[in-house]
Structure 1
Amino acid sequence: MDILLFAIFLAACFGAGATGAMFPTGEWYQRLNKPSWTPPNWAFPIMWTSIYLLIAFAGSRVAGLPGSEYAMGFWAMQIAFNALWTPVFFGLRKLRGALPVMACLWVAVLGATITHFQLDFIAGLAFVPYLIWVTIAGALNLAVARLNPNEPELRPADI
C-alpha cells in the first residue's frame, strides 16, 4: 500500500465527513420521530471514522492496479454522494429529498464493493462494513421520512 495514496483517499473521506460538522444534527434532529432501532448518537462518529479509514485503505490498495478504472470511478462516486447527503438531509432538512441521494450512494457503495473485490479481496472486504452501514442509514432515512411526513424543509435562504 502506498502511504501517499492512502493519505489522498483519507483526505477525500474526511473532506466528505466535514459536512457533518458543517451541518450538525442539533435539536431539530433530536425532536424528530425515529424508529426504535435507531443507532445511538455516539455510534455515528465511531462508525464513520472506521469506515473512512477502511475505504481509504481499500482505495489505496487498488488505485495503482491494472484495470482499476471502474473501482476508482465507483470510489469517486460514493464519496461524492456521501458528501452530498448530509447537506440535503441535515442542512436543507429534506427528509424525502435525501432518499434519492441515499439510493445513489448505496448503488455507488455496492459498485465500489464489487469492483474492489474483483481486484483485491482484502480491499473488497474493507468495503463490506460501509455497505452494511449505508443500508442501515438508508432504512433509517426512509423511516424518519415516513415518521415525520409534515416536517418542513428549509430553503437555502433560511440556512
Structure 2
Amino acid sequence: MTFYIFLLACGSAASAGLFFKPGQWYESLTKPGFTPPNWVFPVAWTTIYLLLAWAGYRLTQIPGSQVVLALWAAQIALNTLWTPVFFGAQRVLASMVILSLLWLVVAVMIVLAMQLDVITGLILFPYLLWLCLAGALNLWILRSNR
C-alpha cells in the first residue's frame, strides 16, 4: 500500500505535464544539439517516477530515514513546480533556480540514502543524472533565448 502512495505522488507530479505542455513556445526556442528527441522525455520520466516511488517505499522500511523522506517530499514538490513555471509561465530563469534547488535536494537525498541503504541510493542515481541533463538544457535555453 505504501508504494502506491509514493506512486500517486509521482503521478501527481507527472500530471503537471498534462496541463502545461511544451507547445509552440518551446518548439520555437533555440535548443542545444544534445536535446533528446521528444519521445525520450516520457520514457525517461516514467522510469524515474517508478524508481522514485520504489525508493520512497524502501525508505519507509528503513529506521532513521525521516530526513531522507522529508527530502523526498521536497524534491517531488520542486519537481512538480518546475513544469508550470517553465512551460506554463515561460519563466526560464525561475525554472533554472527551481531546477538547481531540485538538483541539490536530490543530491543530498542520495548521499543520505546511501548511508542508510546502498540499493536505495543507487535507485535514485538515474534521477540525478537526468537532472544534470535537464539542468544543462535549461541553462542552454536560458542563455540562448534572451
> What TM-score, normalized to structure 1?
0.89
Give the distance between the partners of 1:71 and 1:103, measured in 2 at CA: 18
Partner of 1:84: 81
TM-fit CA distance, 1:9: 0.5
Tell which structure's C-alpha radius of gyration is larger.
1
Which residue of structure 2 lines up, in the alignment, with residue 133 of structure 1?
A: 130
Runs of 4+ with >2 A deviation: none
Q: 2:31 aligns with which of 24, 30, 34?
A: 34
Matching of residue 68 in structure 1 with residue 62 in structure 2: no
Deviations 1:124-153 (A, max 9, x none): 11101000000110111010011101xxxx
Q: CA RMSD in A?
A: 0.8
5+ unaligned residues in a row in structure 1: which ranges? 150-159
Q: Which amino acid aligns with 1:145?
A: L
Instruction: Name the count of aligned residue pairs.
Output: 146
Could you tell me which of 113, 116, 119 is aligned with 2:113? 116
In the alignment, the residues of structure 2 paired with residue 53 and residue 15 of structure 1 have an alpha-carbon distance, to the nearest angstrom, of 13
CA distance in 1: counterparts of 2:3 and 2:113, whole angstroms? 15
* Distance across 1 between alignment mates of 2:101 and 2:11: 20
User: In structure 1, what is the Cα distance between the partners aligned to 2:113 and 2:50?
Assistant: 15
> Where does residue 12 of structure 1 map in the other structure?
9
Instruction: Give the alignment of 1:98-113 within 5 angstroms.
Output: 98-113=95-110
User: Among the aligned pairs, what percent are the same residue?
Assistant: 48
Q: Distance in 1 between matches of 2:47 and 2:15?
A: 15
Corresponding residue for 1:54?
51
**Cα pair 1:71 1:116 within 8 Å, conserved:** yes
Does structure 2 conserve the Cα–Cα contact (< 8 Å) formed by 1:99 and 1:141? yes
Maintained 8 Å contact 1:58/1:116: no
One-letter amino acid of the counterpart of residue 11, structure 1: L
Q: CA deviation at 1:63?
A: 1.3
What SS class does the counterpart of residue 96 from structure 1 fall into? helix
Unaligned runs of 5+ in 2: none
